């Protein structure tokens, strides 16, 4: 069955109570898992970047980009509570890591069900190798922002891992939101040539492209999730609200059930129509 991950990311606005509520809503919508993010802004950003204004001030939670990022960070203690809440409701808990201190903290402190290497860090060899070496859970990685040579190099690296069965490689286009013609879903067919699980991390509007991605082999569908798309934050507009997430889970379950070959005999549900409508030479 296709696994749907509700990426809460930073859409919780830095509020643990809201984040826990979002976990519960995602579970009620039928999500397989939830994913958050962890980063150390002072490590990830240069001093100039930290002190610069947010490039989109109307979407900022602070006077500077650094303050904005700090406001959205939850402590490891808070993440432990979110992991417990997710697991208690039968969902996997995952976390994206954006820098080496965050990777170390997430892996060794939180011990998540899966660690995600985001598109922005997919070419950070040191970070990828650290996650590969030390994460006891599943390893997920997105290929957004990567050119064809970089995508191939990452795929060959993952395929060369002895635990490649624990990896998921996502096709992704990193813009928020994207237009349908920027989705390039046939890349999923290229990923099927490798020996690892594949997924689609979507930043589009609606849920049609996710259904198409599932038919092209994506076993994992990751979508940003929010309770209100009008909230402040650059990820909100490309996120699904609860009604959208519920419909996505519903539609993907239908697709999973439909993806099979017709049996040699008749389909059982056709029998009443066969008796009623099908031409039979014995009938008068």
CATH number at residue 173: 3.20.20.70
- For residue 284, tell me if it sits in a domain: no
- For residue 82, tell me if it sits in a domain: yes
Q: How confident is the model at residue 284 (pLDDT cuts 50, 70, 90)?
A: low
Q: What is the pLDDT of residue 126?
A: 98
- For residue 91, tell me if it sits in a domain: yes
Phi, psi dihedrals of residue 234, rounded to the nearest 5°? -70, -20
- For residue 62, tell me if it sits in a domain: yes
The sign of the torsion formed by the CA atoms of 168, 169, 174, 179 equals negative
Phi, psi dihedrals of residue 52, rounded to the nearest 5°? -75, 155
Domain extent, residue 128, equals 3-277
Structurally, the chain folds into a number of domains equal to 1
Chain segment 186-222, per-residue pLDDT in tens: 999 999 999 999 999 999 999 999 999 999 999 999 9
Q: Do β-strands 167-172 and 197-202 pair in parallel, antiparallel, or remain unpaired?
A: parallel
- For residue 283, tell me if it sits in a domain: no
Chain segment 35-74, per-residue pLDDT in tens: 999 999 999 999 999 999 999 999 999 999 999 999 999 9
- For residue 43, tell me if it sits in a domain: yes
Q: Which residue has the tokens 């409701």?
A: 89
Chain segment 101-157, per-residue pLDDT in tens: 999 999 999 999 999 999 999 999 999 999 999 999 999 999 999 999 999 999 999
């Amino acid at each position: 069955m296709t696994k749907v991950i509700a990426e809460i990311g930073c859409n919780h606005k830095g509020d643990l109570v809201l984040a826990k509520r979002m976990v519960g809503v995602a579970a009620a919508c039928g999500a397989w898992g939830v994913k958050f993010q962890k980063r150390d802004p002072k490590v990830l950003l240069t001093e100039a970047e930290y002190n610069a204004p947010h490039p989109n001030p109307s979407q900022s939670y602070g006077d500077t980009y650094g303050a904005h990022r700090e406001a959205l960070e939850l402590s490891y203690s808070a993440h432990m509570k979110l992991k417990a809440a997710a697991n208690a409701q039968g969902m996997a808990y995952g976390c994206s890591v954006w820098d080496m201190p965050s990777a170390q903290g997430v892996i060794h402190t939180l011990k998540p069900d899966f660690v995600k290497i985001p598109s922005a860090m997919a070419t950070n060899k040191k970070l990828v190798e650290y996650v590969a070496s030390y994460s006891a859970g599943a390893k997920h990685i997105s290929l957004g922002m990567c050119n064809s040579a970089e995508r191939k190099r990452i795929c060959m690296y993952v395929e060369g891992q002895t635990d490649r069965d624990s990896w998921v490689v996502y096709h992704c286009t990193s813009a928020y939101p994207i237009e349908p013609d920027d989705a390039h879903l046939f890349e999923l067919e290229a990923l099927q040539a490798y020996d690892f699980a594949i997924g689609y991390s979507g930043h589009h509007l609606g849920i049609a492209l996710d259904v198409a991605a599932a038919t092209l082999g994506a076993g994992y569908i990751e979508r940003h999730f929010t309770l209100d798309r009008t909230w402040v934050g650059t990820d909100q507009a490309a996120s699904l609200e609860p009604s959208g997430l519920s419909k996505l889970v519903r539609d993907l379950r239908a697709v999973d059930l439909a993806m099979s070959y017709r049996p040699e005999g008749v389909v059982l549900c056709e029998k009443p129509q066969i008796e009623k409508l099908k031409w039979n030479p014995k009938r008068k």
